[in-house]
Amino acid sequence: MTFKPALLLANPHIQTLWPTLRRKLPPVARREEKMPLPDGDHLWLHWGGALPDNGRIVVLLHGITGCSDSPYARGLQHELDEIGIASVVVNARGNGGRLNDRPECSYAGETDDIHAALEYLREQHQAGELIVIGYSLGGSRLLNYLVEQRASPLIVAAATVCVPLDLGVCARRLDQGFSRIYRKHLLGQLCDDFDARRAHLREYFPDHAKRFEDIGPLDGIRNFVEYDNRVIAPLYGFRDADDYYRQCSTLPKLGGIKVPTLMIQAADDPFMTKAVLPTAQQLSSTIELEVTSHGGHVGFVAGTVGNPVYWLEPRLIQWIVGSFPRA
């Protein structure tokens, strides 16, 4: 399935913004479930309407400030419901307007919560075969998880979309041109969420609030390098932002992935540069890389202006249906 952008919508920024600003999201017969975590905190799982009666579940991991209501998550869950395949969005801690009980949050190298969620699906929902799909930062988390020895053997396939494969390059790309609009929006959300979480912990879990208090106010943060220096690095034990980028960037790790994995990247993604696209030598034999000329950041709007088609969903459905073992 070759992606061809809709006429008049080929611009990468239009591709990026259209699903958020213009898409009428399809309905999903949602069920929510509060999942306990080993450290006493919790995650919120949002299930689609199809039931996991046969043990097959598609697991979705959203982007940095996304959640189960992100257009790509709603869109794919709707399509999966149409063909009777169970799906669940694992909302990261603190995302989706829910406040958590500990200071941990999502970052590119966070894999403990992925592992906990997949184990929970195995134990509580009798999952037997899993396909995991990660978007943007969720894709970074997924790729980091797939190279770990503890990665769930239930994963029969994986897919990622628009992953910032070199975190340092991508963080600095957002300081250039129109991409600064995305930087301003995302940093505003992250800082607002941080302040809300800190106030929540101060009131209800003061013992856990200390790690936030040590960070201090977030006034004056201008870009992602500063945010990662002041928030992510101290929270998770990295020396600084560049140490975080070095340890958690997935571009050097792709050769170690053994699970059949589809990687979809757009060459015009305004969150990154072509320099982060992997070469054939950097990929393991189990990775199928698709690089589209257009698509923006998790956009991929085809069809026409009057009748847009969200190409990503049928492409992922094709991968999902072809990846589950034959019954």
Q: 132-171, pLDDT tens digit by residue?
A: 999 999 999 999 999 999 999 999 999 999 999 999 999 9
Residue 327 has pLDDT above 70, yes or no: no
Q: Which residues are catalytic?
A: 136, 269, 297
Nearest to 62 by CA among 40, 93, 84: 93
Residue 276 has pLDDT above 90, yes or no: yes
Question: What pLDDT sits at residue 153?
Answer: 98
Return the percentage of the chain with pLDDT > 90, whole number: 92
User: What's the average model confidence in pLDDT over 275-299?
Assistant: 97
3-state secondary structure of 303: strand
The DSSP line for 140-208 is HHHHHHHTSTT--TTEEEEEEES--SSHHHHHHHTTSTTHHHHHHHHHHHHHHHHHHHHHHHHHH-HHH
Q: Which H or E run contains 116?
A: helix 112-125
CA distances from 277 to 63, 280, 281, 295 (A): 19, 10, 12, 15
Question: What pLDDT sits at residue 211?
Answer: 85
Residue range 231-262, pLDDT digits in tens = 999 999 999 999 999 999 999 999 999 999 99
Which of left, alpha, beta for 239 (phi over 0: left; psi -120 to 50: alpha)? alpha
Sign, CA dihedral 72-73-78-80, equals positive
Q: Is the pTM of this model over 0.95?
A: yes
Mean pLDDT of the chain: 96
Question: What pLDDT sits at residue 210?
Answer: 86
Residue 7 has pLDDT above 80, yes or no: yes
Residue range 182-218, pLDDT digits in tens = 999 999 999 999 999 999 999 999 988 888 888 989 9
